[in-house]
Amino acid sequence: MSFQIEIEEKIITVELKNRKNIKHCYLRILKENLIEIKANRYFTLYDAKKLIEKKSEWIKSSIKKLSKNSLNEDEFLYLGEIKKLEDFNIKNLDIFYKKEIQKILPSKVEELSKKMQLFPTSISFRKNKRTWGSCNYKNGLNFNILLMKFPIEVMEYVIIHELAHIKHKNHSKDFWNLVEVYCPNYKEVEKRFKNSL
C-alpha cells in the first residue's frame, strides 16, 4: 500500500508494508523520494499519515543528509574524500577497495597491536552488509572492505575496537575502557562515522 506526500515542494512516495510478526513500527528513508514504513497488520493508512506528520522534521533533515551524501555515478569515496572513477581507471569498485585495504590496513593493525599488546591470529577482508569488523573466538579479525570509504581515523577506531575484543569478547565496561585508552575520542569518531553512513 502506498501514498504520496509533499515535503518542501518535493513529491515523496510512502510505502506501507504490513507484517503480522512485527511488534514495532519502523520508518526508513530509502531514497530522497521514497519512504518505507513497516508495521503490524493493524497499522492503517491513517496511522501512517499521522506518523509522517509527527516525524516531519526528522524526515526533512534525513532527506537533506541523504542528498548531501549522494554521489554522482562517476564518483566514489576514498578515505573520506570524493574521487572520480576515471582518475583511477576503476572497472569494479569492490575489487579496487579490496586491493587498497590490503595495502593500508595490515600495517595499521601491526602498529596498533604493538601498542595494545594484543595480536590477532589472522586478518581477512570481506564486503559485509552489517558489520565493519569482527573478532572470532580464535582471535582472527575480519574487516569490511568498505572501510576504504571513510577517513583513516575511522579505520583506526574499528581496528582498536576489534583488537580490544581479543581481550574482552563482549561490550562490557572493561572493553570500552580499553578502547578509550587507545582512542580517547571514540564516541566522537563513532558519531561522525554513523552520520556519514
pLDDT one-digit tens code per residue, 55-88: 989 898 888 777 666 677 888 999 988 899 988 9
On the 0-12 / 13-18 / 19+ scale of CB atoms within 10 A, 85 is middle
pLDDT in tens, 120-162: 999 999 998 888 999 999 999 999 999 999 989 999 999 999 9
Domains annotated on the chain, with CATH: 2-69 (no CATH), 76-196 (3.30.2010.10)
CA atoms within 13 A on the CB side of 70: 12
**Using CA of residue 127, residue 163, residue 100, residue 149, what is the dihedral sign?**
positive
117 phi and psi angles, rounded to 5 deg: 55, 40
Q: Which helix (H) or strand (E) holds 101?
A: helix 93-116
The reported pTM is: 0.67
**Distance of alpha carbon 31 from alpha carbon 14, whole angstroms:** 11
**Distance of alpha carbon 189 from alpha carbon 30, whole angstroms:** 25
Which residues, including other chains, have CB under 8 Å from residue 164's CB and lie 6 or more apart?
Answer: 116, 118, 175, 178, 179, 182
